[in-house]
Amino acid sequence: MSDIPTDLKYASSHEWVRVEGDTAVIGISDHAQQELTDLAFIELPEVGLDLTAGDSCGVIESVKTASEIYAPISGEVIEINDALQTEPGLANEDPYGEGWFYKIRFNIPGEIEDLLSPEDYTEQVNI
């Protein structure tokens, strides 16, 4: 079973979003890291990049396969988790903590409301 914290919002493409004032921290869910297994390389968006919700903004490479990461909400990338460059496995070990991907200054608060609740995401994962 995968861990789905109740204080986060989720995208159907398996990213989580934690709101902190006018910024949001983004990573991939425990379910996603379990599906991918053995992360080998993570390519994050550049700081300063303006993202629109749904944009492909990076790539996750497991030993087996490459997957795209998508921006769950719109805004400017203000920080990325550099530790993932040398230790991509952090996203396997601690997907909601040390394994966060990037921070965004969001500009459309309504998009956050439209994300999946933990309950809805749980339902999606369990189908």
For tokens 């492909």, name the residue: 56
Q: Which is nearer to other proteins, 36 or 109 (CB)?
A: 36
Residue 112 near residue 46, CB atoms below 8 Å: no
Query: Which position among 3, 5, 22, 41 is part of the footprint of other proteins (CB under 8 A)?
Result: 41
Query: Which position among 37, 52, 107, 126 is part of the footprint of other proteins (CB under 8 A)?
Result: 37
Query: Which position among 3, 22, 38, 46 is part of the footprint of other proteins (CB under 8 A)?
Result: 38
35 scored as a contact of other proteins (CB under 8 A): yes
Stretch that binds other proteins, among 40-48, 75-83, 102-110, 118-126 (CB under 8 A): 40-48
Residue 67 near residue 59, CB atoms below 8 Å: yes
For tokens 């979003």, name the residue: 17
End-to-end CA distance of the chain: 13
